[in-house]
Amino acid sequence: MATTTKPNKQRDRQLLELRNAYEGGASIRTLAASTGRSYGSVHSMLRESGVAMRSRGGPNHRTRSR
């Protein structure tokens, strides 16, 4: 018996929402807390959505002067 895969519209919608929130400045930890998903799950979903990942420390991370 052949199985067919239907597009999961709810998942696609969540990927888009996560991507928009992340690109708007939300952190992965914040998104994980608000969705009830793990950090790793949100990170994977963001990668799957094709978002450009920020470097560690977020947008306010600055190199300390010595």
What are the tens digits of pLDDT across the range 11-61? Answer: 899 999 999 999 999 999 999 999 999 999 999 999 999 999 998 875 565
Alpha helices in the chain (DSSP H): 9-23, 28-35, 39-49
Nearest to 51 by CA among 20, 12, 14, 13: 20
Q: Is the pLDDT of residue 3 over 60?
A: no
- Predicted local distance difference test score (pLDDT) of residue 56: 82
Whole-structure pTM value: 0.72
Counting Cβ atoms within 10 Å, is residue 31 exposed (0-12), middle (13-18) or buried (19+)? buried
Phi, psi at 7, each rounded to 5°: -65, 135
Tokens describing residue 15: 């990927």
Q: Is the pLDDT of residue 5 over 90?
A: no
- Predicted local distance difference test score (pLDDT) of residue 61: 58
- Predicted local distance difference test score (pLDDT) of residue 2: 56
